[in-house]
Amino acid sequence: MKEQNISILEQRFQEKIDNDIKIEPRDWMPDNYRQTLIRQISQHAHSEIVGMLPEGNWITRAPNLRRKAVLLAKVQDEAGHGLYLYSATETLGADREELIDDLHSGVAKYSSIFNYPTVTWADMGVIGWLVDGAAIMNQVPLCRCSYGPYARAMVRVCKEESFHQRQGFEIMTNLMKGTSEQKAMAQDAFNRFWWPSLMMFGPSDADSKHTEQSVKWKIKRHTNDELRQMFVDATIPQAELIGLTIPDKDLKWNEERGHYDFGEINWDEFWQVVKGNGPCNKDRVDTRRRAKEEGMWVIEAANAYAEKIKVRKAS
């Protein structure tokens, strides 16, 4: 009887999804749907927070005040995006502190792109342009995700993120108009970030264990390979326009498909970085952990102050 009830509930749930009716926090949902969302949204939240670190690296060394103000605003946006996303996980009954502990203990994943170092100023350009560009490609379809709070968070994130990509492309454009050293710096950053940016879309469809169910639940609207192709098609003309060379000898326009063909991604590198062996994995997690430990006095002081005010008001 109980199993029968669940199958009726699941059927009604799927009907809502099929009819594009959003699922809201207090609605019945299959446990797997809830767990899938908590996993995906928390990884997304962690990516925003860890994503502040490679750029934070350059705030004090931005080449001028305008660039510095822009970079500060971008990093502040990312903190906000992390907050929207952690809030969305809380509507699913997740415990934010537990999720953050999972990040700090290395159990939780975040976007592998942030495990690469940012060694020159051009990396700020290429991250805004490619990394935020790839993120937008992923996030725009998520605005129509079946889970209401996630979809609403994504609408805000996408609105805010469009400036991130433009400011990055502006940095690249200016460098490519500069001295031969500046051009070389831009090309070098592009060479280092091109392939990791393509990896941001995740494993190929054949190896993606979550895609099929997520598409059925309308958590995902496109597969990893579809999004990756969209990104390549959109980005190549931009790179060519400012005179960058794409570091892929197999890249060529395929007239028949109406898409670019591109070379094979180094999946061994992808899995190595996912598993924690990228150039900066340890450094990123250590920095996060230290930030929490060293910032704990702020949490404690604010609690003590709130308590004192409460007592004073009561007396």
CB of 306 to other proteins, least distance (A): 4
Q: How far is CA 179 from CA 168, 192, 218, 254, in A?
A: 18, 20, 48, 34
| Residue 39 or 156 with smaller CB distance to other proteins | 156
Instruction: Output the CA–CA distances (angstroms, integers) from residue 149 to 1, 90, 98, 247, in the order listed.
Output: 32, 10, 20, 39
* Of residues 254 and 303, the one with the C-beta less far from other proteins: 303
Where does this chain bind other proteins (CB under 8 A)?
24, 26-28, 73, 76-77, 80, 83-84, 87, 90, 96-97, 152-153, 156, 159-160, 296, 299-300, 302-307, 309-310
Gap between the Cα atoms of 108 and 104, Å rounded: 8
Report helix, strand or coil for 6: helix
Half-sphere exposure of residue 232: CA atoms within 13 angstroms, side-chain side: 26
CA–CA distances in Å: residue 14 to residues 11, 21, 68, 120, 314: 5, 10, 48, 49, 51
Closest distance between other proteins and the C-beta of residue 243, in Å?
33
Closer residue to other proteins in complex, CB, 76/245: 76
Let me know: does 201 contact 141? Beta carbons within 8 Å: no
Considering beta carbons, is residue 79 or 119 the nearer one to other proteins? 79
Q: Which is nearer to other proteins, 184 or 296 (CB)?
A: 296
Name the token pair of 253: 């326009």
